[in-house]
């Protein structure tokens, strides 16, 4: 097995093809191979002869903890990829990984926090009958969106996300009070994120209407729609089920600190 950092454009094409064979499991790594996230991500490839056998991405937007994601691969390949990727990390990082990958993370890092999330998928999402007026967020409203998400303490939002794909919102008195957005987008799959409604406006069908408009827009080009939700967030899970999402697997959302003794 050969391990390398970065990819030529030919290797990038091969990596995308490898990841697209399982877009649901590889949603994070696949999403990081496309602009604009590619510009703030480092890719690590495992290859056998010239075939890609695994990918690790280190997504590191300005002002955020780096986020590490692994693709489908053998346990040995995952561990080797994680080792090279974590050489680029000092201090704290986050990773969203399958249960089978938690031990590999523990080999190189001290786990500070672990939450269980669910990956839910709609293929296709259901149409929602709703009287709520939803609009697509325009470029001129990005500052207002940023204000809304800061107020909601939304952990996945950075203004860079607005360049990834559409965001939909409900406004009241000129202010955004509910929104849903695109976290990752590739030709095969889109991953939703930053779904929230201000407390004073909850239970009026706003988040369901935003998420439905967003999911239908992204699915209109044949994409699978995916998202992560905390396994104990019953209100949100109920809403996603109404929109046609089904639970696919559990994911560990880990905050960890690089352990220098564990690294090779
Ligand atoms: C989850 C959240 C986005 C829902 O926003 P909302 O605008 O109130 O949701 P809606 O009014 O569109 O509700 C749609 C459905 O979700 C479910 N739901 C929403 N809030 C609920 C609650 N408090 N209890 C139980 N079910 C709830 C219901 O099934 C509801 O349909 P119904 O009203 O016909 O019963 C909102 O509670 C929120 O911002 N929470 C904090 C952020 C968050 O958890 N985001 C999701 C991250 S994945």
For 241-257, how does the pLDDT look when each residue is reduced to its tens digit (9 = 90+)? 999 999 999 999 999 99
Spell out which residues line ligand 1, taking CB within 6 angstroms: 178, 195-197, 202-208, 229, 233, 235-236, 238-239, 242
Percent of the chain past pLDDT 70, that is, above it, reads 98
pLDDT at 64: 85
Q: Which residue has the tokens 């939909």?
A: 168
CB 67 within 8 A of CB 58: yes
- Cα separation, 46 vs 61, in Å, equals 24
For 169-227, how does the pLDDT look when each residue is reduced to its tens digit (9 = 90+)? 999 999 999 999 999 999 999 999 999 999 999 999 999 999 999 999 999 999 999 99
The protein residue whose alpha carbon is closest to atom 31 in ligand 1 is 239
Tell me the best of 117, 118, 202, 228 to mutate to test the pocket of ligand 1, counting ligand atoms within 8 Å of each CB and taking the most: 202
Cα of 201 to ligand 1 centre, how many Å?
Answer: 10
Which residue did the predictor score with more confidence, 263 or 144? 144
> Comparing 2-117+251-258 with 126-244, is the CATH topology the same?
yes
Q: Which CATH class is domain 2-117+251-258?
A: alpha beta
For 57-102, how does the pLDDT look when each residue is reduced to its tens digit (9 = 90+)? 999 987 789 999 999 999 999 999 999 999 999 999 999 999 889 9
**205, β-bridge pairs:** none
Residue-range domain boundaries for the chain: 2-117+251-258, 126-244
Cα of 30 to ligand 1 centre, how many Å?
Answer: 29
Q: For the domain bounded by 126-244, which CATH number is listed?
A: 3.40.630.30
CB 219 within 8 A of CB 122: yes
In this prediction the pTM is 0.96
Cα of 164 to ligand 1 centre, how many Å?
Answer: 25
CB 30 within 8 A of CB 38: no
CB 200 within 8 A of CB 159: no
pLDDT at 84: 96
pLDDT at 263: 47
Which among 178, 251, 162 is positioned nearest to 211, based on CA atoms? 178
> Rounded mean pLDDT of the chain?
95
Q: Is the pLDDT of residue 264 over 80?
A: no
Q: What is the DSSP letter of 38?
A: G
């Amino acid at each position: 097995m050969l391990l390398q950092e970065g990819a030529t454009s030919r290797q990038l094409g091969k990596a995308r093809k490898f990841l697209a064979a399982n877009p649901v499991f590889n949603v994070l790594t696949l999403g990081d191979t496309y602009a604009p996230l590619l510009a703030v991500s480092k890719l690590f490839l495992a290859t056998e002869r010239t075939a890609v056998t695994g990918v690790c991405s280190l997504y590191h937007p300005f002002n955020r903890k780096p986020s590490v994601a692994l693709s489908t691969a053998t346990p040995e390949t995952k561990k080797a990829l994680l080792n090279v990727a974590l050489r680029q990390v000092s201090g704290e990082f986050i990773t969203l990984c399958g249960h089978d990958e938690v031990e590999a993370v523990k080999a190189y890092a001290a786990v500070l926090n672990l939450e269980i999330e669910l990956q839910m998928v709609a293929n296709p999402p259901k149409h929602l009958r709703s009287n709520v007026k939803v609009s697509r967020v325009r470029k001129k409203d990005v500052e207002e969106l940023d204000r809304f998400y800061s107020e909601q303490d939304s952990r996945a939002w950075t203004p860079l996300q607005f360049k990834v794909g559409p965001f939909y919102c409900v406004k009241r008195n000129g202010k955004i009070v509910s929104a849903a957005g695109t976290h990752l987008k590739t030709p095969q799959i889109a991953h939703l994120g930053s779904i929230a409604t201000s407390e004073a406006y909850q239970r009026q069908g706003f988040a369901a209407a935003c998420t439905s408009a967003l999911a239908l827009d992204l699915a209109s080009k044949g994409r699978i729609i995916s998202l992560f939700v905390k396994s104990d967030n019953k209100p949100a899970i109920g809403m996603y089920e109404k929109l046609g999402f089904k639970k696919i697997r559990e994911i560990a959302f880990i905050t960890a600190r690089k352990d220098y003794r564990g690294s090779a």
